[in-house]
Structure 1
Amino acid sequence: MLPTITVDVGTTSVKTCLFDADARLLASAAAPTPTRPDPWGEVYDPEALVGVVVAFVRGLDPALRATVQRVAITGVGESGGLVRPDATLASPLVLWHDHRGADRLAGLGPAERTRVYQVTGLPVNANYGLSKIAWAVEHAGTGADGALWLNVAEWLAATMSGERWSERSLASRTMALDLTTRAWSPEVCALLGVDPAVLPPVADATHGAPVTAAFAARAGLPDGVAVHVAGHDHVVGGVGAGLRPGELLNSTGTTEGLLVLADAPRLDAAAQRDKLANGLACAGDASTLFASIPTGGSAFATLRSMLGLPAEDLSARIAVLHDRYVAGELDLDAAPLVLPQFRGSPPPDKDAAARGIVAGLRTDATADDVVLGCFLGMALQYRDVLDLFRVRPERVKVIGPASRNPLWLRLKADLLGTPLSVSGFPEVVSRGAQALASGTTGGWAANDPVDVAVDEARHARLSRWADDVRPRWEHLRAYPW
């Protein structure tokens, strides 16, 4: 490995790390992702975002800073903005869940939507970049002359290097990339009136560009540092986890991602109906199949707000509930049935307007009942999305905040009857970014994994409960928003 500073631009936080040549984590920090509202939705604060990176680098011990050879940037998959040749912005830098431009998708008919999926491997949805690109070009007018659309991670790399390019796992989240040719699709771009000339050259994560002298001086970086765009955070997490064919990565952050590797995209009618997202790996020839559950680790914050609990109190309750569940002391039927669509619904509906539902509250319901119901609902939702893949993974590797939630992990393992291998290392995505910038791969053993085994008696009990609530569960899922 090469000594690397990593930057992970997430939905709620920006994580920065320094790894040495042995992939040891020497320093890390997290800051709230700097965003601000604008008249159309929510955008990044560009200067504040660069400031987070510079402050971390400047805060390192000078002796450590002098060893750095690479900067590797990863982040959310569908954000971005129009970037001029001098790396200034010709449009706002739009967040992934901002739906400006969605009206441009409304006119697409069934045949056109099928064609989009056949070419790009993505279901038509305003989360993806293409409708945002159409909106940005229209609103920028002549100010967009010479500008290219870059993801937020790619824009940071352009700011550091002066070079504009798109990393291919991120390019495959725009709904503009042909997965067969691995080039931009003029056909799909034309459906939204987008000129493919606004899209940058595509490279894999092994491509690096020298950091400019100006940025090196600003951040205090040594000469000769190269910056890499590592790729889509969930896919980069797969690299850090040493993901192999036949395995599933359960990547948990604000959202929850399910990711498998494949030899080729799955572009059949069933995959389109289930709204599974195909993509490209950060390096190598593999394709990816991905599904995102909008509510993941963010459920913790939702429960805190809903129940008025401090973080320490909620964590303690979760630990106690876990122990009582393992001991067989919990009455599952006493918990309300919670459909945890607090941030929208996952595939196959994929509806940003969907909301969570808590059903079956009784007069004696407690905060613990609601907490248990929420994580039972999240386990059911995970099961439903996993079923869309139509394969049972040989192994499930879990990374992210779920690794610190024993109840969530145990319920998943027992409901599915599948053991989990859970990372004990908190920054698997960042470690994957270092590996990609170093031209190598990650390994699971380095992440101190812990196995969560399946208890057959609990599996049988939880399966009976899931069968009993299925009619009500399906009723809640069908609620019209």
Structure 2
Amino acid sequence: MNAVIGVDLGSNSARAVAIDPSGKVLGAATGAYPGAGSWPAGRADPHAWLAGVVEAVTALGERLTGRPEAICIGGQSPTTVPHDGGLAVTCRHPAGVTGSPVEQHHAQREVIGRDAEPRQVYDWLMARLGARERQSRWPGDPSLDGYGSRAATGEVIGLTGDGQAGDHGGSGGPGGSGIPGLAGASGIPAGVPLVAGAQDAYLAFWAGGVDTPGRALDPGGRTGGLAVAIASSAAHGDLYTLASPARGVDIVGGPVSSHGLMLEWLTMVTGRQVPELLELAAAVPAGADGVIVLPYLEGERAPRWNRQLRAEIVGLGSGCGPGHLARAVLEGAAYGLRNIADSLPVALDVLVCAGSPARSPLWCQIKADVLEVPVEVPAETDLAAYGAALAAGAGAGWWPRPGEASGGSWPRPPVTVVEPSPRSVYRETYRRFVSLGDAAELRLTDKEFLCPTP
């Protein structure tokens, strides 16, 4: 069968996507995490993640004909799993959160204990399926001390069901998965090449074609952010920079903390589900009748990088209802992206929207209008899973690994383009959004206004 499978280990479920050599999506499936509701804050049971991955891959495999040519897993990061499978420390844990991704990984290692043999979550999962113990790293990313020997994204690191593969070291021993044959026993066929992955955002950048200067992406999900491609020669040391999939092109920008989470919070406090909130928001005019939301539930990363910030709702009146709040949440996320864009030395030509927020035509239109650029909405909105499939395809020899070719060398999912309709109310409200954020940071110097850090 000419198909490879990519898996994105998301916050709420695992999603598997199969593509063919043309990049066409052949099918998709999800898997749940048993017991996730009882996990302590910032911690997780990696065996439940494994169950979700196996469920998704097995369900997808049942819809395909024959055995896939490769499988790759990517996902949330920074997240650290003890080698023995004890509770993981997730990207939502406060350990090291104000530092770089490498610093956050090392802070997470301290939480689980330095003798616990730390692993990136997708590397731990791949080892359970039969891969050799490796730390999968994107081109240009520094290696993590103590997380195993390095493997490049797109590199074959083992076979499914091979519990003794390469340097495993035997069942239960150092470096070994301890569960030979899991793949075959679970319904995943044995002998399928396993390919080194990467963190979800990097894979989404790859799938979204953020490999040509001026192309940008919001990966969506519970957090979100803005990544913009820029010629490597134009980037400089003051920017948060990483390598794009293409040679000679870097990515600048940064993640945010709570864009999708802000909408989840609103469902909790209103008792209304997301589809109803989106419908109510569509009935409220642009600018939300003056209601503004600063989406800082868990502090803010780019461009403020201030964990002490907290969400604010400004401009509520007696005539406001859930629709105003929902509209202000959608607009606040767009203003947050615009705030990052305005801090960068590169102009946006197009924004690719991914994740669950991309499934809302209203939210995509708001982002197009606020950033004043066209928005591409991929037919496959889980670009992290599609990017993991690109890595699997590289392992199968279908196309180059990231960093080995120029922009446009890899397939992309088909897209729908949302054209912008700039509005003066958005420009004015955006200025107020920035001013309110500035004022919130100034208040943090007064201890009377500080909230406890979760």
**Structure ranking higher in helix proportion:** 1
Matches of residues 186-335 of structure 1 in structure 2 within 5 Å? 196=145, 198-208=146-156, 209-213=158-162, 214-246=181-213, 247-262=215-230, 263=232, 268=237, 270-271=238-239, 276=240, 278-281=241-244, 287-321=250-284, 325=285, 332=287, 334-335=289-290
Structure 1: runs of 5 or more not aligned: 106-122, 178-182, 185-195
Task: Give the match for residue 382 of structure 2.
Answer: 427
Q: Distance in 2 between matches of 1:379 and 1:478?
A: 23
Cα distance change, pair 38–8 in 1 and its aligned pair in 2 (3 A): closer
Task: Give the match for residue 92 of structure 1.
Answer: 87
Is the CA contact (8 Å cut-off) linking 1:240 and 1:443 kept in structure 2?
no
Task: Give the match for residue 385 of structure 1.
Answer: 340
Task: Give the match for residue 178 of structure 2.
Answer: none
Matches of residues 336-347 of structure 1 in structure 2 within 5 Å? 336-347=291-302
Structure 2 residue matching 1:476: 3-state secondary structure = helix
Q: Does 1:131 align with 2:126?
A: no
Q: Distance in 1 between matches of 2:78 and 2:93?
A: 9
C-alpha deviation, 1:389, in angstroms? 2.2
Count of residues paired in the alignment = 412
Structure 2 residue matching 1:167: 3-state secondary structure = strand
C-alpha deviation, 1:153, in angstroms? 0.6
Structure 1 residue matching 2:132: 3-state secondary structure = coil
Is the CA contact (8 Å cut-off) linking 2:72 and 2:195 kept in structure 1?
yes
C-alpha deviation, 1:125, in angstroms? 7.4
Is the CA contact (8 Å cut-off) linking 1:242 and 1:443 kept in structure 2?
no
Q: Which amino acid aligns with 2:15?
A: K
Is the CA contact (8 Å cut-off) linking 1:72 and 1:434 kept in structure 2?
yes
C-alpha deviation, 1:264, in angstroms? 7.0
Cα distance change, pair 150–361 in 1 and its aligned pair in 2 (3 A): same
Q: Which amino acid aligns with 2:430?
A: A
Is the CA contact (8 Å cut-off) linking 2:130 and 2:161 kept in structure 1?
yes
| Percentage of identical aligned residues | 19
Task: Give the match for residue 52 of structure 1.
Answer: 52
Q: RMSD value over aligned CA atoms?
A: 3.2
Structure 2: runs of 5 or more not aligned: 163-180, 401-407, 445-449
Q: Distance in 2 between matches of 1:36 and 1:353?
A: 26
**TM-score normalised by L of structure 2:** 0.80
Task: Give the match for residue 77 of structure 1.
Answer: 77
Tell me the alpha carbon deviations over residues 312-359 of structure 1, each in whole angstroms, 9 at most, x when there is no partner.
3213223444xxx4xxxx5x3723221111232122332334321112
Q: Does 1:454 align with 2:420?
A: yes
Cα distance change, pair 68–284 in 1 and its aligned pair in 2 (3 A): farther
Cα distance change, pair 312–60 in 1 and its aligned pair in 2 (3 A): closer
C-alpha deviation, 1:226, in angstroms? 0.8
Tell me the alpha carbon deviations over residues 281-338 of structure 1, each in whole angstroms, 9 at most, x when there is no partner.
56867544341111222332222122221333213223444xxx4xxxx5x3723221
Task: Give the match for residue 112 of structure 1.
Answer: none
Larger displacement relative to structure 2 (381-390 or 59-68): 59-68
C-alpha deviation, 1:131, in angstroms? 1.1
Q: Does 1:161 align with 2:109?
A: no
Is the CA contact (8 Å cut-off) linking 1:399 and 1:426 kept in structure 2?
yes
Q: Distance in 2 between matches of 1:375 and 1:216?
A: 42
Is the CA contact (8 Å cut-off) linking 1:81 and 1:92 kept in structure 2?
yes
Cα distance change, pair 454–286 in 1 and its aligned pair in 2 (3 A): closer
Larger displacement relative to structure 2 (372-381 or 434-443): 434-443
Structure 1 residue matching 2:64: 3-state secondary structure = helix
Is the CA contact (8 Å cut-off) linking 1:265 and 1:288 kept in structure 2?
no
C-alpha deviation, 1:267, in angstroms? 5.8
